[in-house]
Amino acid sequence: MTEKRKKGSILSRLRNYFFAGAVVLIPIGITLYLSLFIIKVSTKLLPKELNPNSYLNFEIPGIEIIIAIFLITFIGWLSLSFLGKKIFELINRILKRIPILRTIYSAINQMTESLTKSDNKQKSVVLLEYPKKDVWAVGFATKENKGIINDKIGNELVNVFVPTTPNPTSGFLLMVPKKNLIFLDISFEQASKFIVSAGSTDPQN
C-alpha cells in the first residue's frame, strides 16, 4: 500500500513538473515561432537593395524587423505631415474606386478608425452576455446601428465585434441592444492584450 502511494506521489509530482514546464515553455515557444516567422516574411518582402545583409560580410539577425518598424514609423510621421496627408488622400480615393477592393478597404478602414479614435478609446470596449445568459465576453462597440436593421428591430442597437482568442483578427459581428452592454473603462490595447492572452492578464495592466 505504501509503495503504491509512493508511486502515485512520484507520478503526481512528474505530472505537475510536466505541466509547469509546459506553462513556461508554451509562451516562449510561441513567441520564438512568431519572431522567426516575422523575420522570414520580412526577408522575402524587403528588397535586396534595402537589406544590409545582402552586401555585408556578416549577417545581422532581425535587421528586417528593425527596418520594418522604422518604415512603419516613418509612414506614420509622413501621414501626419501636409504632403503625406495629400498623398494618402490620393491613395484612399484610388482604393475606393476599385471594385471589390473598395468594399474590403472601406470596411477595415472604418473599423480601425472607430476603434482607435482618441475620443472613443475608453468607450469602445464593452462586456456582453454571449453566447448565452450568464456567460460574458469582451467585445468592441464599433458603431451605433442606425440603418435599416435598427429600423426593423425597433430597438437601439450597437454593432459589436467579438474577437476570438488568441487570434483577435477573426470573430463575430453582433447587433446588441445598447441597454444590454456594459461599457468598460479600459483602452483598446488593454482589451486586446486580455483577449490575446486568453484572459491570463489583468485587462487594466
Query: Is residue 143 domain-resident?
Result: yes
In tens, the pLDDT along 24-37 reads: 566 666 666 766 67
Query: Is residue 129 domain-resident?
Result: yes
Q: Considering its fold, how many domains does the chain have in total?
A: 1
Note whether 140 and 186 are within 8 A (CB).
no
Query: Is residue 17 domain-resident?
Result: no
Query: Is residue 103 domain-resident?
Result: no
Q: Is pTM beyond 0.75 here?
A: no
Asked which of 13-27, 143-157, 167-181, 185-199 is least confident by mean pLDDT, the reply is: 13-27
Query: Is residue 146 domain-resident?
Result: yes
Burial of residue 114, with CB atoms counted within 10 A of its CB: 0-12 exposed, 13-18 middle, 19 or more buried: middle
d(CA 177, CA 155): 7
Query: Is residue 66 domain-resident?
Result: no
**Number of Cβ within a 10 Å radius of residue 145:** 20
What domain range includes position 192? Answer: 121-196
d(CA 194, CA 186): 11
Cell of 140: 468592441
pLDDT band at 122 (very low <50, low <70, confident <90, very high): very low
Helix, strand, or coil here: 141? strand
Query: Is residue 169 domain-resident?
Result: yes
Query: Is residue 152 domain-resident?
Result: yes
Whichever domain contains 168, its CATH number is: 2.30.30
d(CA 160, CA 203): 19
Q: Which is more confidently placed, 157 or 113?
A: 157
pLDDT band at 130 (very low <50, low <70, confident <90, very high): very high
Of 49-53, 103-107, 163-167, where does the model show the most confidence? Answer: 163-167
> Is the pLDDT score of 13 beyond 70?
yes
When pLDDT is averaged across residues 29-47 and rounded to a whole number, the result is 65
